Amino acid sequence: MPEARVVPDKITYSATISAFEKGDQWQLALSLLSLMHEARVVLDEINYNSAISACEKGGQWQLALNLLSLMPEARLVPKEITYNAGISACEKCGQWQLALNLLSLMPQVRLGPNEITYNAAISACEKGGEWQLALNLLSQMPGAKVFPNVITYSAVISACEKGGQWQLALNLLSLMPDARVVPNQITYSAAISACEKGGQWKLALNNLLSLMPVERVVPNEITYNAAISACSKGGQWQLALNLLSLMPDARLVPNEISYSAAISACERGTVIGGLH
């Protein structure tokens, strides 16, 4: 544009940064932000929000937090969307402590966390293996007048699954109807995986074969793999093979995990059979 003797204005810069953010081009977004500063174009919250979101999508949590820290110096007040992008950046990179720290700072600047904020913070705890903290955040939501959704429950159930807390995972699943939240594939897959890790093959099959059809939730590869693995660990090789045979009927293609779990079930069945 300078070669054409057209000087970019703030609207042009802002629109371009937003386009780079949506296109996952965090380097270009930051470069343009720097050019705006050099061109003495006044940056606003929208510019920073777009740049922080671009860094979040690009897995650049350090850069996202650095931009957030620069806003007060520019006499700009971060909004909920700013903190959400920062927390989400930390979540994607496994920085659960930093995610929770940002969450704790919001009331100090008179900002109320919303669904997106809590979901990102809970997901950060889930990825960090902090199931107790995930449950604690879930319990805080009603007091903050924020209602959990299916993303919230799925993340907490997944946190319990990773922590070996299958009873808590199933309890959360059972609470969802009262909260008027409908479980989805991710929710059930996490619950079935929790059962698998806890050696509860009967409960895993109950979720897959009984509860999911009632909720009209279609199982995917992850769901079947977890159920087959649960049967394998429980020495139920016939059931494991039966589940494997059902996958094509469900228009699902078994993968390495599916076959490995089924083969493992057969191996265990052979060993157990040889002991009798």
Task: State pLDDT tens for residues 129-181.
Answer: 999 999 999 999 999 999 999 999 999 999 999 999 999 999 999 999 999 99
pTM: 0.85
Within 8 A by CB and 6+ apart from 229, the residues are 196, 257, 261, 264
Total domains present in the chain = 2
- Which of 74, 100, 123 terminates a domain? The answer is 74
56 and 88 assigned to the same domain: no
- Phi/psi for 79 (5° steps) reads -105, 180
58 and 107 assigned to the same domain: no
- Asked whether residue 13 is domain-assigned, the answer is yes
- Which of 102, 124, 147 terminates a domain? The answer is 147
- Asked whether residue 48 is domain-assigned, the answer is yes
CB 50 within 8 A of CB 59: no
2 and 70 assigned to the same domain: yes
- Asked whether residue 60 is domain-assigned, the answer is yes
- Asked whether residue 234 is domain-assigned, the answer is no
- Asked whether residue 26 is domain-assigned, the answer is yes
Tell me how crowded residue 273 is: count the other CB atoms within 10 A of its CB.
10
9 and 51 assigned to the same domain: yes
Task: State pLDDT tens for residues 25-40.
Answer: 899 999 888 888 888 8
- Which of 74, 95, 129 terminates a domain? The answer is 74
Task: Provide the residue range defining the domain that includes 126.
Answer: 79-147
DSSP string, 65-86: HHHHHHTGGGT----HHHHHHH
